[in-house]
Structure 1
């Protein structure tokens, strides 16, 4: 798989951006309208999240565009050894991140699967401060090797974990160096509680809120949206103000709900850039 992906990356590197856009549109139509891959799930997710805002035909258009944007994100990452993934990123709200770093405690970035998150991590590390993201392995050995080599090339840093406890120790070390930890909020682990997400209970990752209780630092939401192939805008929001009480368990739940609301605000702004393929509302 590593050799196949490397050859595919070399091939994609020779394809003009205008062609990539057309190819991505064709693949989106193929996957969504013809093969109908996970179409029912995506349609259901959009109805739950945005049924009060968009008509059914509008939600279908958003779904199709989200497939296209995901394909483009994949293309941009696959060929990133040949085309700098962070070269054409405009940033809005950079001062929010720099002001948070000035406190000297390190910074958490509340991030999620909207826009090209790989380009976001690369841009922040290369232009502001080292940004380390908690991620999972991607596929089998060959595929994961390809992904990790691309990430190393892009200076997309990730928190390496071998055994239980490694992750938290690495996070503390990163923050103590006044660097950045990106925490992907919109994936839930088994056993997580159901908390409101677009008004409907969904399994919600509470580990971020729990980690923040143990090692506090400013939390800055940030996300990407696409202007065109290879060109993006990084939006950095003001730091979130979290209030604490004597009830740590309740604080973790309340903070996790607040994080969900931050995701909602960004998704409502750019629904066609969101990765709707996650089964957030599964029973």
Structure 2
């Protein structure tokens, strides 16, 4: 079989990524985190998707001053830079790192997740990738549902980083059979579910305004009758985190399936909103969360980057 040919652009992107990861691996962890925060602040200062972030923050927190919203946005970018550094160094974040740097809030819920299985819902909040590492060393058999990136070289490298600590991967392409099998075997499917889902999504309120939300996790939970566990990884300071496992949500059986999907999506979206209000600087604000429902109309023009 011939090896796939890659474009010069993809080769350049991959080489640059490997060079950055190599450099970060050479640094002490705290120094690398400082570099990540600096890169995040630089991206904010350069205006990279800053306009989108500020509009989103004004929609979510209309009572705040513009200065306070800008401060949250800048901290969000810095925290995302720290997250990116931790993910780039994920091969080094093994059991000893988890035991030293991660505290689990509600460990009994994490244990229940490991025993019963289900859907572990994560969001673009804090270090969501570190949840998989924690669960891998905490006895929770976990498989991440992952999409395919345009650059196959980068895609393969990122997925190798994800799977290095024994985390399984399920491709979104033809994923249903693997998802069903994992959950029926009392495993956990980790699922990101907080971005605009277009016309195919479920419309539920997010910060009091309608937002199109991915349907998949709720549809699977309703079909299988399995619990959904909204989970969060909160950065406290530097490399220290608190993993928050919230009470599982069971899909309702007394209403039609479509209504049950909407109700389940509404409930887990409200959990995310609660956590964002607790620490808004840990959410990734540049995404156009209310794009499908038209809340950007009439505001200053916002373009997807």
Q: CA deviation at 1:64?
A: 0.4
- Show the counterpart of 2:29: 17
Contact 2:230 2:248 in 1 (8 A): yes
- Quick one: distance in 2 between partners of 1:39 and 1:155? 36
2:43 maps to 1:31 = yes
**Would the aligned equivalents of 2:146 and 2:172 in 1 still touch at CA under 8 Å?**
no
Q: Using the TM superposition, give the Cα deviation of residue 258 of structure 1 relative to its aligned residue in structure 2, in angstroms.
A: 1.4
Q: 2:263 aligns with which of 254, 259, 273?
A: 254
2: distance between equivalents of 1:212 and 1:65? 35
Structure 2 partner of 1:95 = 108
Query: SS at 1:134's partner residue?
Result: strand
Q: Number of aligned residue pairs: give it.
A: 276
* Residue aligning to 2:223: 214
Contact kept? 1:5, 1:146, Cα under 8 Å = no
Residue matched to 2:87: 77
Give how far 1:239 is off: 1.6
CA RMSD, Structure 1 to Structure 2 (Å): 2.0
Q: CA deviation at 1:197?
A: 0.7
Conserved in 2, the CA contact under 8 Å of 1:108 and 1:218? yes
Which 5+ residue runs of structure 2 have no aligned equivalent? 1-12, 295-305
Q: Do the aligned residues in 2 keep the contact of 1:114 with 1:224 (CA within 8 Å)?
A: yes
Which of 204, 209, 228 lines up with 1:195 in the alignment? Answer: 204
**Residue 73 of structure 1: SS of its match in structure 2?**
helix
Taking the TM superposition and a 5 Å limit, the aligned residue runs for 1:119-134 are 119-134=130-145
TM-score with structure 2 setting the length? 0.83
> What is the CA-CA distance between 1:60 and the residue it aligns to?
1.0
Q: Judging changes above 3 Å, is the alpha-carbon distance between structure 1 residues 228 and 157 closer, same or farther for their aligned structure 2 residues?
A: farther
* 1:248 shift after superposition: 1.9
Q: Distance in 2 between matches of 1:176 and 1:29?
A: 44
Counterparts of 2:90 and 2:261 in 1: how far apart (Å)? 38
Q: In structure 2, which of residues 163, 181, 204 is the aligned counterpart of residue 152 of structure 1?
A: 163
Deviation at 1:246, TM superposition (A): 3.6
1:202-281 matched pairs, under 5 angstroms: 202-281=211-290
Give the SS at the match of 2:146.
Answer: coil
The alignment's TM-score, normalised by the length of structure 1, stands at 0.89
Shift of 1:100: 4.4
Deviation digits for residues 236-258 of structure 1, max 9, x if unmatched?
A: 11222443334222222222111
Conserved? CA contact 2:233–2:244, under 8 Å: yes
Among candidates 65, 78, 102, match of residue 55 of structure 1: 65
Higher relative contact order (CA closer than 8 Å, sequence separation 6+): 1
Q: Secondary structure at the match of 2:164?
A: helix
Question: Offset of 1:177 from its aligned partner?
Answer: 1.6
Aligned to 2:122: 111
Q: State the match for 1:141 in structure 2.
A: 152
**How far apart in 1 are the matches of 2:189 and 2:27?**
34
The counterpart of 2:75, out of the listed 40, 65, 85, is 65
Change in Cα spacing, 1:69 to 1:139, as seen in structure 2 (3 Å) is farther
